[in-house]
Amino acid sequence: MNTIPLLESDLDKNPFVQFARWFEEAKQKQPELPESMTVSTCGENGAVSSRVCLLKGFDEHGFVFYTNYQSRKGAQIAENPRVSLCFFWTALDRQVRIEGAVVKTTEQESDAYFATRPRGSQLGAWASMQSTVICGRGDLDRRFAELEASYRERQIPRPPHWGGYRVIPLEIEFWQGRADRLHDRFVYRLREPKDWVIERLSP
C-alpha cells in the first residue's frame, strides 16, 4: 500500500500533463500493458457495458482507442456518445477515471493507425463481425483463411466499419491509494475550454 500522500501542490494545473506523468511512471513500474483501460458505454436502454481496451494515444484533444464500429460498444456509442474510461495501475496503487464525450477519429487517423497493425490483426478486423453470434470457431477460421488467401501479396485496406474513437474529457479523477482506505482523490472538472478546476474528493 502506497503511503506517500498526494497533495494538490503535487498536481499540474493541466490534467493531460498530470496524466502523462502518471502514465510514464506506470510504464516504468508496470510495463505489462499499462495502457489497458476499462471502457464503459451505455445505450438508450440504460444498460451499461464495460470491457478492457488499449489506449493508443492521447493529447489535449482527448484519449484514443480503436475498435469495430459495429460492435456492441460502437452501437451504444452511436446511441449515447458518452464514455467512461478507467485505468488501474496496481504497482503504483493508482487509478485514473475519465468521463466525457466521444467522437470518431478522422479517417486519416484511423488509416494511419491501421497501417501499423500486424498483418494478422488487420485480417482479423475484416474476419470478425464483432459482438455478433457465430455458429462456431470454424466459421471464423474459414473466413480468416479466405481473406488471407485473397490478400496474399497485397496491402490490406482498413475496413470501413473499423476505426478510432476519441474521448474528449469533461472530468478526470486521479486516485492515489493510502492506508486505512483514506485515499487521496482529486478531480479536474472542465468549466470552460482549457479552464479546469481541481477539487479534492472524500475517499
pLDDT beyond 80 at 3? no
pLDDT of residue 94: 97
Side chain identity at residue 151, one-letter code: Y
Angle (CA) 51 186 101, round 5°: 45
Where do the domains of the chain lie? 8-123+158-201
Burial of 154 (C-beta count, 10 Å sphere; 0-12/13-18/19+):
exposed
Among candidates 20, 65, 61, which has minimal Cα distance to 40?
Answer: 65
pLDDT beyond 70 at 22? yes
Query: What digits encode the pLDDT tens for the residues 114-135?
Result: 999 999 999 999 998 888 788 8
Of 137, 152, 154, 181, the catalytic one is 181
pLDDT of residue 1: 56
Q: How many CB atoms lie within 10 A of CB 124?
A: 18
Query: What digits encode the pLDDT tens for the residues 24-70?
Result: 999 999 999 999 999 999 999 999 999 999 999 999 999 999 999 99
Mean pLDDT score of the chain, rounded to an integer?
A: 95
Whole-model pTM: value is 0.92
Among candidates 9, 11, 3, which has minimal Cα distance to 173?
Answer: 11
Note if 181 is an active site residue: yes
**Superfamily of the domain at 8-123+158-201:** Electron Transport, Fmn-binding Protein; Chain A (2.30.110.10)
Q: Is 5 left (phi over 0), alpha (psi -120 to 50) or beta?
A: beta
By the 8 A CB rule, do 34 and 27 touch? Answer: yes
